[in-house]
Amino acid sequence: MSTPDFSGTRYEIVREIGRGGMATVYEAFDSALMRNVAVKVVSVKGEEGIQTVREPAEVRPHIMKNAEAQLIATLEHPGIVPVHDAGSLPDGRAFYVMKLVRGDTLAALQPIGANELLRLFLRICEPVAFAHARGVVHCDLKPSNVMRGEFGEVLVMDWGIANRRGGTRGYMAPEQEHGDISPAADVFALGTMLRQMMSGTATSRRLNAVIAKATAVDKAERYATARELEEDVTRFLDGLPLIAYKESRIERLGRWARKNAALLAVIGAYLLMRVTVLLFAGR
């Protein structure tokens, strides 16, 4: 596809930085504010080679116009890229302008520790949970739609098909194929991402239970929202009981002992001291 015509606007295209099923993203220079920005231009038709399901009407730019820009503008959260401007090109295609995020996608993440991965996952859940609380379902969560910026910020990108039928195979919930859209669909994608993120680490039965609940085929068996999934992962990190896992008494005792290891060490040291004193006193 040729570079779009931005004549008559304040934006000068620098380079293409991303292409998907419905849009192409460019880095551009904003001559009014003298800064580089990201400009997303809606495609006329889906790109070849993208394993994405779309409704035919949703790839027509005159149908979409600036719906995505308007939706994102209502989601003011640090984990969602803000929209600066929106408009139409001479050929009728819609575009909108966002903050330019420099960094890597989750797909390009370098190996890090298990707990750090889980804390990163919680930061992915936060903006999704925020959107769910406002009636918005992303519908296309996947590693390439999550960015970690150069200063450590975590951002969920590409809300172009939010609340619409669509998604990427491998991350889509089973019911999405039939147009059943709910926050549980995003939970399925988040659970799939969590499984992939933890694939190179040793996982416990407790964490595996969280992943299994998030990716259940029957959406009624999943966490209802990203907030519920986020809270159970937080409980896992804090050594608390989980919604997804029913512990035996021995497991519950072991978990309590691990969480209170410092207290048990102090009690043990005190008891040892008392025994020592009593032994010496009895001589």
**Strand, coil or helix: what is 193?**
helix
Q: Where are the beta strands (DSSP E) in 48-117?
A: 52-54, 83-88, 94-98, 103-105
CA atoms within 13 A on the CB side of 50: 19
To the nearest 10 degrees (0 to 180), the angle between helices 114-133 and 226-238 is 150
The rounded percent of the chain whose pLDDT value lies above 70 is 87
User: What is the chain's mean pLDDT, rounded?
Assistant: 86
- Long-range contacts made by residues 239-244, C-beta under 8 angstroms, separation at least 24? 242/206, 242/209, 242/210, 243/213, 244/206, 244/209, 244/210, 244/212, 244/213
Is pLDDT at 268 greater than 90 in this prediction? no
Is pLDDT at 192 greater than 50 in this prediction? yes
**Strand, coil or helix: what is 24?**
strand
Distances (CA, A) of 205 to 130, 196, 232, 250: 29, 16, 14, 14
H-assigned helices in 158-242: 183-197, 205-214, 226-238
pLDDT of res. 65: 54
pLDDT of res. 117: 96
Closest CA to 124 of 233, 216, 18, 243: 233
pLDDT digits (tens, 9 = 90+) for 27-50: 999 999 999 999 999 876 444 333
Which residues are registered as beta bridge partners of 41? Answer: 24, 95
pLDDT of res. 282: 63
pLDDT digits (tens, 9 = 90+) for 84-143: 999 989 888 889 999 999 999 998 888 889 999 999 999 999 999 999 999 999 999 999
Question: Which residue has 């769910």 as its token pair?
Answer: 132
Indicate the helix (H) or strand (E) that contains 132. Answer: helix 114-133
Question: Which residue has 């190179």 as its token pair?
Answer: 200
pLDDT digits (tens, 9 = 90+) for 194-244: 999 999 899 999 999 999 999 999 999 999 999 999 999 999 999 899 999
pTM: 0.82
C-alpha to C-alpha distance for 12 and 238, rounded to whole angstroms: 49
Contacts of 22 (CB under 8 A, 6+ apart): 42, 43, 46, 54, 58, 59, 64, 160, 161
232 is catalytic: no
Q: Which of 85, 140, 158, 232 is catalytic?
A: 140
pLDDT digits (tens, 9 = 90+) for 66-82: 677 888 888 999 999 99
